Amino acid sequence: MSYCVHCGVELDASANKCALCGTPVIDPNTVLPQPQQSAPFAEMPFVPKSMHRQFIAYVISIVMLIPNLVCSLANAIFYADGFWSFYINATSFLIWVVFVLPFFTKKLRPYLMWAFDTVAVSFYIFFFFVMRYETKAGWYYKTALPIVLVLAVQVLAYMIWVRRKKRHWVLKTAVIDFMAGLSALIIGSILQINHNYTKAFYVGTIAFISCVVLLAFLIYCYSSKHMRAWLSKKFYV
């Protein structure tokens, strides 16, 4: 039994409006359609995240380019006897390739960035030690370049291994630890063979043994569920 909200007349169950005053009958349980509201600031255009990243990269590139141009002009005008500005340019180029260039890509491409970084580091070392000291070309090709390539191959292998499937952080740490120890041993061996640096070989061997000991502990942590849970709880990872 219901009554009109305006005049209080008893209403029929099927009535749509009051027979006396004509007031519409509204069922409070009926869900009325809500009018669509326009989104706030609808006049503002949508800017993709990639555009924000590219804008930041352009700004950083301009900020880095200006002092390099100033140094190059100062070197050409006031200090024409030497080319000290080339070292600033080479250093800035290396920093730009490693840290700024990835911002220009819409999608991060690790393998392409790895190739650019390897070439940039190799060129940087070549410029500093071969262009500056012509007698050190043999040192570059026999020592510096092999060390860079060894590190680059290890980084590439780690990237491929990680990207194939999800790895536990303890296992990742163990692999990085082993790679660090192996790199120290290889670098010490290269210095020992090419330059007879016995101390470098001993230091590399000690670093490798230390990393192997740490690797054994990490393998134990990875194989023990209780240890993994304790580490995850302790270090929030």
Task: Let me know: does 167 contact 195? Beta carbons within 8 Å.
Answer: no
Residues 72-100: what's their mean pLDDT? 81
pLDDT the model gives residue 210:
94
Q: Which two tokens stand for residue 81?
A: 């006897």
Question: pLDDT band at residue 133, thresholds of 50, 70 and 90?
Answer: low
Q: Which two tokens stand for residue 28?
A: 């409070």
157 vs 87, more confident: 157
Residue type, 27: D
Question: pLDDT band at residue 34, thresholds of 50, 70 and 90?
Answer: low
**236 half-sphere exposure, CB direction, 13 A CA radius:** 0
pLDDT the model gives residue 211:
93
Gap between the Cα atoms of 169 and 232, Å rounded: 9
Whether the predicted pLDDT of 170 surpasses 60: yes
Whether the predicted pLDDT of 47 surpasses 60: no
Question: pLDDT band at residue 49, thresholds of 50, 70 and 90?
Answer: low
pLDDT the model gives residue 123:
84
Name the residue among 175, 155, 159 with its Cα closest to residue 218.
175
The mean predicted confidence, pLDDT, of the chain is 80
φ, ψ for residue 24, nearest 5 deg: -60, 145
**27 half-sphere exposure, CB direction, 13 A CA radius:** 10
Whether the predicted pLDDT of 151 surpasses 60: yes
Whether the predicted pLDDT of 131 surpasses 70: no
Three-state SS letters, the chain: CEECCCCCCEECCCCCECCCCCCECCCCCCCCCCCCCCCCCCCCCCCCHHHHHHHHHHHHHHHHHHHHHHHHHHHHHCCCCCCCHHHHHHHHHHHHHHHHHHHHCCCCCHHHHHHHHHHHHHHHHHHHHHHCCHHHHHHHHHHHHHHHHHHHHHHHHHHHHHHHCCCCHHHHHHHHHHHHHHHHHHHHHHHHHHHCCHHHHHHHHHHHHHHHHHHHHHHHHHHCHHHHHHHHHHHCC
229 vs 123, more confident: 123
Task: Let me know: does 6 contact 18? Beta carbons within 8 Å.
Answer: yes
